[in-house]
Amino acid sequence: MKDRHAEDVDSSDVWVEHPLGKIFARIWTPAMKVDRSQARAPIVLFHDSLGCVDLWRDFPSKLSGFLGREVIAYDRLGFGRSDPRADMPPVDFVAEESRSYFPAIVKRFMLQRFVAFGHSVGGGMAVNCAADYPGACEALITESAQVFAEDRTLTSIAQAKEQFKDDRQLERLRKYHGEKAEWVLRAWTDSWLDPQFASWTLAAVLPRVTCPVLAIHGEHDEYGSAVHPEMITQLCSGPSKMEMMNDTYHVPHRERDADVLALVSRFLKSAH
């Protein structure tokens, strides 16, 4: 039997207009196309603090083929191929994504319904989008998401900031972000380590999430303990499920992609 991972998946690149600059996006579509009005809701991917479309690597293609759904990923403004940002992100940058930038994605792809899937800080952004679009967001999947500025998270970010003083480390970022690499690094480390950010939390946002929720987390995640998926599943108002993955760190979709695909598939089948 043919593995659905091996299904042909088409992809196309799209530029999304925004008043502050162009946003780069890519959409993956299963080879077996159906009328969009009859298709299942597309999955929108929200990348992590140093991420971009290309750093999802082959996961979106596998996700699209395995689930038979469209998958959309985009570079936040300032990241990857999107235009640079003129300013540093504000203290409420996690909520800002849903408020100020995601509407352009919704409009460009005519998203009447969608599944939000966010990794790391992208998980917090996906939470805000699920809360802000209760009629359109059919399900929420968080992976390695943070709910507040935990000591473990801040310690690991401070260590990473030191490591990136080695220009060879920064060169890895330049491969994906070009001249924006230094901005991307500062947008991560300076934002999270800012004393004003210490009080940030999703505690007031999570109860507004009414759709089904799957919170995936690695047991050895260096950027957050199990308290984060526990809070997500406990505070969301809709049905929720937590999946702790053994022998897994901060990037389950790269470390154990087949297991993540299976978890997401079972969850979405049960969510409808």
- pLDDT digits 0-9 by tens, 1-29: 344 554 589 999 999 999 999 999 999 99
200 in helix, strand or coil? Answer: coil
236 in helix, strand or coil? Answer: coil
Has residue 167 been placed in a domain? no
Domain, as residue range, for 103: 4-148+201-270
Has residue 175 been placed in a domain? no
pLDDT of residue 31: 83
Has residue 196 been placed in a domain? no
Has residue 184 been placed in a domain? no
pLDDT of residue 259: 98
pLDDT of residue 34: 56
Is the pLDDT at 209 greater than 80, yes or no? yes
pTM greater than 0.75: yes
Q: How far apart are CA 70 and CA 28, in angstroms?
A: 6
pLDDT of residue 6: 43
Cα diameter, the chain: 55
Cβ count within 10 A of residue 167: 8
Has residue 124 been placed in a domain? yes
pLDDT of residue 57: 97
Is the pLDDT at 200 greater than 80, yes or no? yes
Has residue 186 been placed in a domain? no
pLDDT of residue 3: 45
Work out the mean pLDDT of the chain and round it to a whole number. Answer: 94
Has residue 173 been placed in a domain? no
CATH code of the domain containing 45: 3.40.50.1820
Q: What is the pLDDT of residues 43-88, one digit of tens each?
A: 999 999 999 999 999 999 999 999 999 999 999 999 999 999 989 9
3-state secondary structure 116-137: EEEECHHHHHHHHHHHHCCCCE
Q: What is the pLDDT of residues 149-166, one digit of tens each?
A: 999 999 999 999 999 999
Q: How far apart are CA 118 and CA 147, in angstroms?
A: 13
Q: How far apart are CA 190 and CA 188, in angstroms?
A: 6
Q: How far apart are CA 243 and CA 189, in angstroms?
A: 28
Has residue 164 been placed in a domain? no
pLDDT of residue 36: 53
Mark 214-247 as b/e (b = at least 16 C-beta within 10 Å). bbbbbeebbbbbeebbebbbebbeeebbbbebee
pLDDT of residue 100: 98
pLDDT of residue 1: 33
Please list the residues that pair with 211 across neighbouring strands.
none
Q: How many domains does the chain have?
A: 1
End-to-end CA separation in angstroms for the chain: 26
